[in-house]
Structure 1
Amino acid sequence: MSSAQPVKRSGSEARNIESILKLEHDDQQSMSALQKSFHAVGWFVGTVYFIILQCFCLVVWVVLNAGPLSLPSPFDPYPFPLLSAVLALEAVLLTSFVLIRQSANDLQSDRRNHLDLQINLLAEEEATAILRLLRKVAEKLDVQEEQKVDVLAGETNVEKIAQHIRAREE
């Protein structure tokens, strides 16, 4: 029998995990009850349980209206016009639920991407500052440096890089 031991995390790793969990919790708390219910429906529609429930309901509907156990007075006789209308309405509503959920997920993804970009830009600035400091240390110790270090230690022009990327995409 193997016992799972908790993974030990560094202080910064634990803080980062807590920060991410807090951001996600704050996102959840900022949603209204209606939005939360739409998300729940959108989530459920994407599960196997929904498919099973949908198939079960269809079989019950057909059996009650045209099967061997049909009601004496079926509420939706063959060719099931009411079932067709219900399924059409369901398709419209479920599509809306899924699109609402996807839109919220896209917004959350955009926020995460923006945060990721900000962190990457900060990390780039920090790395540049470290390279400059190391260059000064290397000069004091009379250590030969590579030419590539001069390029890497220079300022990174984010706008210029973004323009270059856009030009390549066109």
Structure 2
Amino acid sequence: MDRHAVNPAIEQLTHKNIEALLCHEEKRRHRKPRSHRIVSSIARWCGTLGFFWVNLAFFVAWIGWNLGPWAFDPYPFTFLITTVSLEAIFLSIFILISQNLDAVESERRHHLDLQINLLNERETTALMRLMTEVAARVGVDDRLLEEVNALARDTDPEAVLNQIVKAEHEHAKR
């Protein structure tokens, strides 16, 4: 049996979950204001090799033309420098806006992750409590269940967060 083979039932569930997430993302994308979609598209395009080649071709053509007899922006290419500066300013703005929009999406996904993890923790705790009850009824030695009993308590997310902050603070002091 191929150890990389995926259980068909799990594959079906995974596909269903992925499809639901993709549909949700697509709906969110279409609900965004048109200006946000335009800014995101511009920022995406600016991060491609196509954008690089277009810019390179433009600059080479501009400089080549203006070194010839028909120069409208002779050396030191003042108009080109102004144009490139404006391009850099606007691209920076588009990229910053796009990053802000992406950060909002990332935070939303992080929040979803956190909620699912908290729900999973509660479910696991409930199952562990049930397991300890069953173990007690069938006569399993309590010493074997010490760790399970410790983990079967509700986890206080705020206490864990405080513990993380404290550990980070102590680590930063080193």
Deviation readout 1:53-84 (Å, 9 max, x if unpaired): 11100000011111xxx353x22111100000
| Residue number among 92, 95, 103 corresponding to 1:95 in the alignment | 92
Unaligned runs of 5+ in 1: 1-6
User: Aligned-pair distance for 1:165?
Assistant: 1.0
Give the structure 2 partner of residue 42 of structure 1: 43
Matched residue type, 1:138: A
Matched residue type, 1:62: I
Give the structure 1 partner of residue 27 of structure 2: 26
Aligned residue for 2:75, secondary structure, equals coil
Deviation readout 1:23-42 (Å, 9 max, x if unpaired): 21122012122211111110
Give the structure 1 partner of residue 56 of structure 2: 55
**TM-score normalised by the chain length of structure 1:** 0.88
Whether the aligned pair in 1 keeps the contact of 2:132 and 2:145 (CA below 8 Å) is no
Distance 1:155 1:107 in 2: 30
Matched residue type, 2:26: H
Distance 1:51 1:153 in 2: 57
Give the structure 1 partner of residue 78 of structure 2: 81
Distance 1:71 1:111 in 2: 57
| Residue number among 104, 107, 131 corresponding to 1:107 in the alignment | 104
Distance 2:69 2:151 in 1: 79
Moved over 3 A (4+): 7-11
**TM-score normalised by the chain length of structure 2:** 0.86
Give the structure 2 partner of residue 15 of structure 1: 16
Distance 1:112 1:71 in 2: 58
Is the helix fraction higher in 1 or 2? 2
Q: CA RMSD in A?
A: 1.5
